[in-house]
Structure 1
Amino acid sequence: MERKSWTEAQQYCREEFTDLATIDDMTENKKVKSTMQEAGAGDAWIGLKEEWQWSLVDRENEAEFRSWEPGQPNGGEGGDSTHPYVLVTERKNWTDAQRYCREKHTDLASARNQAENEQIKGVIPHSNHLNPVLYWIGLFRDAWEWSDGSSSTFRHWGAGEPNNQGVACTEIEPSGQWKDADCGDGSHFICYEDELVLVRENKTWREALQYCREHHVDLVSVTTDHIQRWVSELAKGASTAHVWVGLLHSYGVGWYWVCGQTVCYSNWTPGHEQVESFHQGVGAVESGGGQWVSNLTKTDQLNFICTTKDGCD
């Protein structure tokens, strides 16, 4: 068993598998715990890391831009504005400032490149450099993020955790509880392997279904936000504008997945969920944004995504 820092573990998992483990619920936590017990491992890295993030959630365009003063970060001050940038001279704490911006404008300002940083700087009045007036911006350090970028909010911290004062990563203990630790520490780690396969061949929906069942298990059923994220990422590599998934519509049933589950979680393009009750249809996802569409027919030929796992989970 290898011991690596969190960054080294992340790189290894991405090269050899998919990514460091993401844990969405207690069932998955128990699976990871069982894997550790079988391997006889002690504490091990999982994919949860504390990060600086922008209040304005814009993951498609967000860059890892930072413009710290020497010796920073050591606090939370910056500039307060939105798109287009608006200076607010009321004094508020960061949370109240965020709430104000979201109610009155869009959000606290995000400086995602040097040009935006200069625009924000341009709305701030000149002040005495010995006692400068400071303004909030939307960068905060109150969030934990999974290595694969998923939005799972499940946490299983041990008593008194997390308690690390610096930038921290997450280890899982043999007990199954989590603790934060210095990301540079050497530790065992847990990878996960993606269960989805993008097939870059143009086939009708029925041909795609047959291919997946012959070569893998089935067309993918997108039953959770976690699976949706995987599908969206894979779809970006498609050679067609849309990608087949295992989504069907039948008279008297409505929309359902080939795994046998009716649609509960959904990510429809506006206007595509409602179809005539007698309509026999199939669904696909957009290659760019990952939203679902219903305006295709079973004779259209698209790339498609297969799953290597049985069932709807």
Structure 2
Amino acid sequence: MPCAPPSSPSRIHATIAVEEGRRKHMLRVLTLLLASGCGTWSSQSRVYTVINRYMSWSAAREYCKNNYKDLAVIHNHDDMMEMTKATLNFPLSLFWIGLRRVDQIVHPWMWSEGLSQTSDESAEYTNWINTPNYLQNCGSFLIDGKWMGEGCEHRLPFICKHSAAPSGIQIIPVTLTWREAQVYCRLHSIDLITVMSETENQALEEAIHQMMPTIVSPYWIGLFRDDWKWTDQTANSFRDWAISEPDKVDRCAIITNTIVKMAANSCEAAHYFICYNEIEEKREQIVKVEIASNSDLEFSDAVLSEAILTQIQNKFEGVNIQWRIHPDGKIFHKKENKKIKEEC
């Protein structure tokens, strides 16, 4: 929306109903438009069900696909905690989940935190000094801003994403393996640092020079690749392996509700398992929009109101936006100078 002109424009206000979609991005842009707003929203959620029958991984998956959506997929720590609640009545048990090792030539680079720039969750922005080989499956950050592939078992200092730090990052000079660094960051801050653009890359390079000017070692960042894939066929990067897991032989993943960690296991072993369904909850968020105009435009004109809505709609992919019609049949009302009481 253009900014209001310097003269005294008339102000027209209306409300729009926004269907839940890419909410975080949507709200950031809508803050440029809103005078006020109220409402509620929710996103797609997963419901987990424990099946206390001993089955192999393949048999468990067939059962889940026939009776639910699939074996449990876990996209973030919230999912992990929600799924763990379902296992509390089965102490000291192991459970199949929908994660398995796959045979493919090229594995995508992903971020430990689970953030992505593409629909398949893989990293789009990279800044390699050279192409990593098949043994180099974890990413490190050099002091000149270039990235280098490393064997994940190497021990390096590392960088955590930390919400309490002024720069948002925390540099840990202790040398750990990539997996140990990931565990440390998740326990003490958020996760290993994610770098998703040239701007973020430059900012991280400058921060390293300011905070650790004498250390020339590469630093672990949250970039990795592996040969495990979730059954929903996304390259979702959430992993929460126990220490020393996964091994190099077993091809199917379990969790235990004692330590709430993932481990690899023989796919032919018999365990309880966890199925999931997805519940899509769509609610409306009601927001008020003010439009400033110096002209005598007739805002009740259907063509004009549709053109304005189209401009707003074009900002959001996958979100349904529509005007709310007031009881008097109008969309727009001229705003009075007196303060208008906002009501949800």
Interval of TM-score (by shorter of Structure 1 and Structure 2): 0.3 to 0.5
TM-score (norm 2): 0.30
Q: Tell me the TM-score normalized by structure 1.
A: 0.33
For the pair shown, the structure with the greater C-alpha radius of gyration is 2
Tell me: higher relative CO, structure 1 or 2? Use CA pairs within 8 A at least 6 residues apart. 2
